[in-house]
Chain A
């Protein structure tokens, strides 16, 4: 193991390369060993008092094998992970043009809100009466999502985009089964340009996947879909705006054709961020669409999650939504509504002089569930000469205005939930962040964000199209612009090389080699978070790199990155002989070292 005690670094030689440091560190660029190489078995960074003596009741299942987990003190822990963080690129570091991934600004207000004890420190199985605010937040998020998409229902539980796809396809499968077509209607159409999650999801629950061929204009054509339609078609999964960065102009026609043949239209909503406040998927015949809260509504990607993928559903699929869901309790408590107003109740009770408390509650007014509202209603009745008999039964009064339906059987006979997708209620922490984003932006800000995202992508397109090749001609794109590698032909530079050279310029590379329908794809998504100055600098850097590539300065590309914490990594070797965990060095070697 490396000796990490401080010692002066060598001073021999005169150029940087001749000043190797003793530690392997270079100023702020710190090499950091693995936790297992610096931790010790007997060290802990958490002070806990040993409990009073007790006799275990573990049924004879006490651990006999040591775990083998080293510990670190608190300062060591902090330094270890801070140093690791410094080897990462994030949105806060610089422009992150990763197409289809939507790396937009992550507002810290949203982090702060998710950490309010009333949201962050609440258990999913607490009594519903103690989590009314959490249910209110879920109901409010649902209202925003249904309004923005023009869809009537939403299932909040899915934990990421792919999980949302699964939820949508499960609802479709349940709807098909309810029609008695489970055996025969089992094919899902997926365009060649689709995200890999689409075919993987369909296959996961037993659908056969049939591919819709790509055209050279980047769009899915109704003429290519129609011949594939028939009584075996369950659904099409279409991304819109699509993975080529284009809006699918025939989406509604395709939806209509699917509906005509008895199938459903699943829309992959990964790129919804381009059209929020501009287009409602519900107007385009969508039956189900997941929304990546971590893309469109800026909940942090966190190095690969957690995400959240709520699914909006059409009237046709809404009955099959999974449990649990939030409802207004008025709708479930009283099947038969009482009179519509206090005066109508007075009218109905005239001659009797009394009404029961339950008759008052049957007015179904939300304010009755608060003490003040209740007292006011009783006072109003009394003023009209009518007494309320019997205390409101504790059960009813304590009954909350929002309820969480975990078992749909008693709730609504029309509901036929296909089942359950997650242990609890979905990604609450992400719901809070997404709603904070929505409240902050408002209807006007969300629409402006979509427009600015589209504007930025087109600005890049217009600024690079003379140097780099656009596979579908020079036409407007949505929030991301797709180039191919035709323009790199004969330069000796590949898309991968170009991407790695971007790292040396201080940028995270764009999405590369996706979508698969374009050769050497480079998918650039700047998002609305970039200033014009930032876009101009990025464009200048891209132009400089492009010209260097065209001038065949291959050395700048082939070995890149030169300035990152690591040079190119051997991915083939990693896959050929997988090392997926740290193991202690062999004892013999350890002895030899001592």
Chain B
């Protein structure tokens, strides 16, 4: 077997050194009957070519985003990733290293984590960021738990613009912990009065912008109201590119900012692995979940980096830890950091302008399709349409014509009367031809 270096002669001589006659002598603690005699009922080993054939066949049954006019968003976005990113993250020393517990031989990882934290803090307009969460949704749940610790209250209020799956993850996590969650109903046009729902028992109010329907939301009045009641504002985003053009949540008064970083450097990959961004104010750092990388010096006074404030973490504090997270999204942080270094502020703002311009073009073109109503007025690169018939069927019809048109709201909110809504995203990868194809196909499907 190509991955196993030991020969039969090696195995025999090693068993002799150990002083046992056969390998199963080393499994002597396994109770009688539990040690398997037969191999599992699975195929035998395969060479590279055969594995490529099998997996290649499966992959070919999927429609790749790059192969069609593609407008699917709602929490994950198709962006172009520079070739440099994927090359560098496959460097052996990054790909095959471990969590940097031995900092003297992990400065590469630690320095990029320090750069990542700095970039995330800058992008979100916050003072500090951690070294990542699993993704935006789990980061949001962690933010709510952190708000409970900070405020010593146990009631979270979730906006109806928060991604349905994020809200579900928050509810699952916090209700298991015995905490209260108030979820506002789906808010397609950003018209909810969330401020009225904040009271003196509220630990945090969770608002997404751009929200799941594409609306940009003004966080400032919500931040002020939260502050008045001693609650924290948790600002969520799923489209990191928006922060190149939109006022940062930090500048709008957010206390904790969590987001999905997939848009910068991380492929769609059917939903994971992604990278959760998590930033807050300096005064809350000891309540933060997850790893933190900090600057220090070595014995010769040279600058270096280490994981720090680990007394918050599970391997030290066990059941008193701020979170159970251990492994996070290390390599996706690296992808994010490289892509962000390539973009820089100039590139990111231009990328954001291209996305916004693309969405404006799309909104105008779709508004002209008979029967289509564009529901979203202030947006970044995503809008919600009302169609004259159920969106799921329309999406299916268009998929049959080789166009991936967007996400039917019913996929995220089944049985909630949103069947005629379609969420459509447009990014820099869309050409005018892509948009024209969508308009033509949609016109036909609705005729």
Contact = CB atoms under 8 A, between A and B. Distances in A.
Contacts of B363: 57
A205 B107 contact: no
B94 A199 contact: no
B325 to A, nearest CB: 6
Contact of A161 (B86, B305, B327, B334): B327
Contact of A569 (B88, B117, B168, B304): B304
Nearest to B80: A46
Interface string A127-151: 1011111101100100010011000
A116 B59 CA distance: 7
Given A132-B61, A133-B62, A574-B296, A101 B98 contact: yes
Contacts of B1: 441, 444-445, 448-449
Contact of A476 (B28, B125, B175, B216): B28
Given A123-B65, A160-B134, A199-B319, A427 B98 contact: no
Contacts of A247: 27, 29-30
B348 interface: yes
A74 B271 contact: no
Contacts of B415: 407, 409
Contacts of A503: 102, 104-105
B107 to A, nearest CB: 4
Interface in A296-321: 300-308
Contacts of B379: 57-58
B273 A124 contact: no
Contacts of A444: 1, 39, 44-45
A90 B44 contact: no
Contacts of B247: 61-65
B369 to A, nearest CB: 19
A373 interface: no
Contacts of B196: none
Give the one of A35, A68, A301, A432 with max B CB within 10 A.
Answer: A35
Contact of B358 (A51, A112, A570): A51
A559 B125 contact: no
Nearest to A65: B251
Contact of B107 (A70, A442, A566): A566
A175 interface: no
A461 B19 CA distance: 11
B248 interface: yes
A503 B112 CA distance: 21
Nearest to A437: B3
B294 interface: yes
Contacts of B97: 88-91, 301-303
Interface stretch (A9-17, A221-229, A418-426, A540-548): A418-426
Interface in A496-511: 499-500, 503, 508-509
Nearest to A173: B176
Contact of A422 (B89, B169, B299): B169
A57 B107 contact: no
Q: What bracket does the count of chain B residues touching chain A fall in? A: 35 or more
Given A72-B342, A77-B84, A200-B318, A144 B42 contact: yes
Interface string B120-142: 01110101110110111110000
A179 interface: no
B298 A170 contact: no
Given A204-B323, A423-B169, A429-B273, A441 B106 contact: no
Given A58-B216, A159-B272, A444-B44, A567 B357 contact: no
A114 B163 CA distance: 27
Given A435-B55, A445-B4, A130 B63 contact: yes
B141 to A, nearest CB: 9
B428 A61 contact: no
Interface in B1-52: 1-7, 10-11, 13-15, 17-20, 23, 25-31, 33-36, 39-46, 48, 50-52
B106 A58 contact: no
A305 B332 contact: yes
Given A137-B55, A161-B326, A429-B269, A303 B331 contact: yes
B321 interface: yes
Interface string A204-241: 11100100000000000000000000000000000000
Contacts of B246: 58, 61-63
B201 interface: no
B295 A579 contact: yes
B37 to A, nearest CB: 10
Interface in B64-116: 64-67, 70, 72, 74-76, 78, 82, 84, 86-100, 102-109, 111-112, 114-115
Given A81-B334, A113-B52, 20 more contacts: A45-B343, A58-B216, A58-B245, A59-B218, A61-B216, A121-B267, A123-B72, A196-B326, A249-B31, A277-B40, A278-B30, A300-B331, A304-B131, A430-B273, A459-B14, A476-B20, A565-B107, A567-B104, A569-B103, A580-B285
8 contacts: A58-B379, A65-B125, A71-B345, A85-B108, A200-B323, A304-B109, A424-B75, A529-B3
7 smallest CB-CB distances across A and B, nearest first, come from A71-B344, A59-B378, A424-B271, A118-B59, A419-B172, A302-B331, A133-B61
